[in-house]
Amino acid sequence: MPEEDQKSDNQTKQGGFLGRLLSMPNDSIVKTVFMTVMVCLVCAIVVATAAVALKEKQEINKLVDVRKNILQVAGLDDDSMSMEDRFALIDTKIVDLETGEYVDELDVDTFDQRVAAKDPEQSVELSDDEDIAGIGRRANYAKVYLVKDDSDQVNKVILPVHGYGLWSTLYGFISLETDLSTIYRVIFYEHGETPGLGGEVDNPNWRAVWNGKQLFDENGEYNFHLVKGSVNPANAQADYQVDGLAGATLTTNGVSNLFKYWLTDQGFGPYIDKLRTSQG
């Protein structure tokens, strides 16, 4: 064997598997598969490392985004004040949805209603008849937000709501005036509905038509719903109706159902009754 070939062969043997692999032709199937696997492995490690490193920042950004939406639905969207100062005007509580009473033993900063809804010990499974919002399980507790005025009196109550639309679960907030029937504002901050159709739940013009609408009639019965098309102002029920989303019937129905669920007995109904009673 020529000296150069023998030297190359010795180097290949000394390099073990990697040496033999690298000495293979570039069109070798074994070499191609190995290099592909290695590239995928390196990329997976890089992505996993980045995800871990960014997790805390992502959680902080998520919290900030939720707070921005709470401030907007509270009417505290004046940027002349810092977010911290504006949020200090909101008192966050946790409510037992079964009794409507506040719960003090849970930490408002760490309690997560979504996580609790997945835990059988912290939630209840809903029957098909009960589950008009399509949420499957309902957490036993939920956060509520009490907006204070300059004299430290509650002037709005913000309730979190969620339910299934056409493609996704919509998450949002509704703020109520002190009569607990008049809608101040509504906002959806997370969903996966079709842009231009069900995705119009994000449209500020559509959200604005909710302002001032009534949820409960003079007998205290829930009477609110979305209608197909536009609300007729001459209709006696116009104060209890909001325009449906054009071309998005299933999303419209989902929105109507999720509010009916959360604002009646299965959701915040007992809490609303308690507040009414406390108002005398």
Domain boundaries, the chain: 1-81, 89-279
* pLDDT top residue among 1 and 110: 110
- The pLDDT value recorded for residue 239 is 95
Top mean pLDDT of 12-16, 152-156, 159-163 is at 159-163
* Residue 3 reports pLDDT greater than 70: no
pLDDT in tens, 217-230: 999 999 999 998 89
Predicted TM-score of the model (pTM): 0.79
Provide mean pLDDT across the span 255-271: 96
CA distance 171 to 134: 12
CA distance 123 to 71: 28
- Reading the block at residue 173, the tokens are 């907030």
Provide mean pLDDT across the span 168-173: 95
Query: What band does 12 get if pLDDT is binned at 50, 70 and 90?
Result: very low
Q: What proportion of the chain, given as a percentage, has pLDDT over 90?
A: 62
How many CB atoms are located within 10 Å of the residue 197 CB?
17
CA-based diameter of the chain, in Å? 105
Of 81-85, 231-235, 249-253, 258-262, least confident by mean pLDDT is 81-85
pLDDT in tens, 271-280: 999 999 887 6
Mean per-residue pLDDT over the chain, rounded: 88
Provide mean pLDDT across the span 70-90: 89
> Helix and strand tally (H, E) in the chain?
8, 9
Long-range Cβ contact pairs of 32-36 (< 8 A, separation 24 or more): none
**C-alpha closest to that of 200 among 240, 167, 248, 256:** 248
Helices (H), 204-248: 204-208
DSSP letter string, 57-117: HHHHHHHHHHHHHHHHHHT---TTS-HHHHHTTEEEEEEETTT--B-SSS-TTT--HHHHH
Query: What band does 245 get if pLDDT is binned at 50, 70 and 90?
Result: very high
Q: Are 168 and 262 in contact (CB under 8 A)?
A: no
Query: What band does 160 get if pLDDT is binned at 50, 70 and 90?
Result: very high
Q: Are 224 and 260 in contact (CB under 8 A)?
A: yes
Provide mean pLDDT across the span 72-96: 90
pLDDT in tens, 16-61: 666 776 777 777 777 777 778 888 888 888 887 776 766 656 566 7
- The pLDDT value recorded for residue 59 is 65
- The pLDDT value recorded for residue 46 is 80
Q: What proportion of the chain, given as a percentage, has pLDDT over 70?
A: 89
Cα dist. 61→32, 55, 56, 57 in Å?
41, 10, 9, 6
